[in-house]
Amino acid sequence: MKTNFHPMRKCIGCLTMQPKEQMIRIVKSPDKEFFWDQTQKSAGRGAYICNNKACIEKALMTKGLERSFKCRIPSDFLESITEDLNR
Ligand SMILES: [Zn+2]
């Protein structure tokens, strides 16, 4: 039987479960670099945010990313993602 299963992930902005393929995956690489993993397949610890500005801003405000990665996130990194979404 074929199932139409969508893996769900919790958004660190709005804290709701969303289909993973509609989200932005943020990855901390083994050499402690943060990047937007557009393939969603890169190695490293990942966190997910809905693909919208409101959730990214919320994640910034509540420090959801910091909590998820247990370290400081460069603020210009998140700002650059917000800018990419505005394009
Ligand atoms: Zn969200």
Distance 54 CA to ligand 1 centre (A): 8
Q: What is the domain range of residue 48?
A: 8-86
Cα gap 58→70, rounded to integer Å:
17
Rounded mean pLDDT, 1-20: 88
For the segment 65-80, what is each residue's pLDDT rounded down to a tens digit? 888 888 888 878 878 8
Distance 2 CA to ligand 1 centre (A): 29
| Residue 1 resides in a domain | no
Distance 79 CA to ligand 1 centre (A): 16
Q: What residues contact 54, with CB distance under 8 A and at least 6 apart?
A: 13, 14
Q: Letter for the amino acid at 65?
A: L
| Residue 26 resides in a domain | yes
In this structure, are residues 17 and 49 in contact, taking their beta carbons and an 8 Å threshold? no
For the segment 26-61, what is each residue's pLDDT rounded down to a tens digit? 999 888 889 999 999 998 889 999 999 999 989 988
Distance 15 CA to ligand 1 centre (A): 6
Domain count, the chain: 1
Q: What is the CATH number of the domain that holds 22?
A: 3.30.1230.10
| Residue 75 resides in a domain | yes
